[in-house]
Amino acid sequence: MGFTPTESIWFNGRLVPWGDAKVHVLAHGLHYGTGVFEGMRCYATADGPAVFRLDAHLDRFFQSAALYELTIPYTKDALADAALEVIRANKLESAYLRPIAFFDAATLSVWTKECPVTVAIAGYPSGAYLAGGPDRGTRVMISSIRKFDNAAIPAWGKACGQYINSVRAVQEAQRHGFDEALLLNSRGEVSEGSGENLFVVKDGGLLTNDVDAGILMGVTRASVIELAKGLSIPTRVGPLSVEDVLGADELFFSGTAVEVTPIREVDGRVISEGKPGPITRRIQDTFNQAVRGQLPQYRQWLSFVRQAVTS
């Protein structure tokens, strides 16, 4: 999911040319990972481009910032407008958006109270995140790298520095010829992918885990649970074991970047005959319609760029 540079990035309150959105080499966030971020997607709809669950993403953005006593110097409404402005200015239709806020350069002490906060929102055309993608499905390895414990770093926050844990797991998986990693927590339970939540399909229903498993409480995860309810697919939330994963009828990841992506193989074991299963496809098809404004009952999840022009 490499990015294609666009014309401009919203940077500390204004649009600047892509190449001018620069940060000092001594920024605190660069050295210590003291920042928070979000990933959001914009989709092409019959009514123009629209951001999926913009409000929910910005709510989590501010909640993550609060965990690290990082005061974002803009309101949620201002950042919502900025996200839509990025889409308009860059003439985007289907796009990935990356809001980030971090402690900037002032000190290399661990404490942050002297540091200003920089906020930016970038956007660029989106593509498939994982090899195989939503159509074919991806190949996953259960990593030897364990997910950090909530008592050390709260996984429900989306902080920059915590993703070094995910980087190590993905590097291991790719060295072994897999596309993605699945991390276990300190209790040996399944936690999540490097940047995705996990759903197990078994006996016609869904099983997914919760915050105590050390997962990020994904916006797409919550959306999938609601979509499943609308489709009368039973969903249970509870611990996931390795046995649950290896014995699944179907498996899929959810997340902003991966959307709904089937898992066709785990540690060399083929899942669902190596292709997306019927329940995964039902969820996936409904999700794809919802994000493109084709299902009236989920229109409230969309923030249309056009609306911001006339408001």
What per-residue confidence (pLDDT) applies to 1? Answer: 65
Provide the CA 18 distance to its chain's centre, in angstroms. Answer: 23
- Output the pTM of the full model: 0.95
Domain range list for the chain? 8-125, 133-291
- Could you tell me the two tokens for 3? 């990015």
Spatial distance between the Cα atoms of 114 and 108, rounded to a whole number of angstroms = 10
* Sign of the Cα pseudo-torsion (31, 32, 35, 40, in order): positive
* Sign of the Cα pseudo-torsion (247, 188, 130, 124, in order): positive
Q: Do domains 8-125 and 133-291 have the same CATH topology?
A: no
Angle between helices 219-230 and 278-291 (to 10 degrees): 110
- Could you tell me the two tokens for 209? 């885990």
User: The domain 8-125: what is its CATH number?
Assistant: 3.30.470.10
Which tens digits make up the pLDDT trace of 122-146? 999 988 888 888 889 999 999 999 9
What per-residue confidence (pLDDT) applies to 133? Answer: 84
User: The domain 133-291: what is its CATH number?
Assistant: 3.20.10.10
* Cβ atoms within 10 Å of 88's Cβ, excluding its own: 15
β strands within the chain, DSSP E: 8-11, 14-17, 35-37, 40-43, 50-52, 95-103, 117-125, 138-142, 180-184, 190-193, 197-202, 205-208, 235-237, 250-255, 259-266, 269-270, 302-304
- Could you tell me the two tokens for 51? 């951001």
Which tens digits make up the pLDDT trace of 163-180? 999 999 999 999 999 999
- Could you tell me the two tokens for 303? 């923030």
The answer to whether 113 is a known catalytic residue is no
Of 113, 147, 158, 229, the catalytic one is: 158
What per-residue confidence (pLDDT) applies to 3? Answer: 84
Q: Low-confidence residues of the chain, pLDDT below 50?
A: 308-311
What per-residue confidence (pLDDT) applies to 311? Answer: 36
